[in-house]
Amino acid sequence: MSSFTKLAFWKTYLTPARFSNDQIPDLTGKVAIVTGANTGLGYATTVALAGHNCHVILACRSRERAEAAIEKARKEIKATYPRAAEAKLEFLELDLNDMTKAKKSAQDFLGRGLPIHILVNNSGIVGKHFVFTMTLLDRIKESQPSRIVILSSLAHEHPTEGGIDFETLNDESASTNRSRYGRSKLANLLFGKALARRLADTQVYCNIVHPGFVATDLARDRTTWARAFQVLFNVVRSVAAMTPKDGALTQLYAATSPEIVNKDIRGRYFIPIANELTPSPLAQDEALQEKLWAFSEAMVRQHVKA
């Protein structure tokens, strides 16, 4: 079986949509944090949440880009949601390239004294989001019922050999760019499912989503080969890809739909637009989930300053 047929991309095109923007409930009094909120899926998620009266914290690395996004979002919300209250949008500096900075960002937010009803881990790598999420977790529990949404991908079905090569994580010669990407998306799933299990006795609902083929800037690269590939990719994207507004609906479903609470759904994996998908056997391996959790905790102890 080819590597292409092993991937379940076809499932994203053959299942009917079961969620739309007008099904998002009124979110007055709710506070959300969206990472990578200044562009793409994060921006679309921010606009939809704020357009339904949620107080949204844009957790981004660049203040300049975040503030430009806030100004743009305010105008878009007024045009798209004329009945919405004045949009509550704030910037939170978050550098997911550094675990210590990720922890400090979470601590800075905690200092604001706000609750957290929705955390959308829209960008970044699992190790950094592990630090950010775990630092915020007590506040999220205090704010329950609350939601944690983790972005993954169907690419989790094609990781490195064995799923997570813990011994060679920093050895680029031991894997390819493609397999490392798949590994990172598998890690997001493993983290989400392990976290959901730990939250089983709470009203904190943690779920993982694959947004689908979305027209974003994720594939940007500066190499000559990558630029040539980008031309072809752009043609395919213009025909087949969803807009970020449509792609964000799956994570908005996990973040806002009453179905999540009513059905006590935890650790589920959703594909466009908000349809449930059974993840790969590796993603469902509880032993691998716990191994990654222990590895992440050890990494935090080693690299994160108090």
The residues assigned a catalytic role are 181
Task: Return the closest-CA partner of residue 110 out of 143, 135, 90.
Answer: 135
Contact 238, 254 (CB under 8 A): no
Q: What is the dihedral of CA 23, 25, 30, 33, to 10 degrees?
A: 0
Rounded to whole angstroms, the Cα distance separating 10 from 122 reads 23
- Compute the distance between CA of residue 36 and CA of residue 157 in angstroms, rounded to an integer: 24
**Cβ count near 97 (within 10 Å):** 10
DSSP label at residue 269 = E
Beta-carbon count within 10 A of 28 CB:
11
In sequence order, what are the beta bridge partners of 91?
58
CA distances from residue 56 to 8, 37, 59, 128, 139 in whole angstroms, order as listed: 33, 9, 9, 21, 16
The DSSP annotation for 72-106 comes to HHHHHHHHH-TTSPPPEEEEEE--TT-HHHHHHHH
Amino acid identity for residue 55 in this structure: H
Tokens matching residue 234: 């752009």
DSSP strand pairing (275-276 vs 269-271): antiparallel
DSSP 256: H
Distance between CA 55 and CA 49 in Å, rounded?
A: 8
CA distance 119 to 121: 6
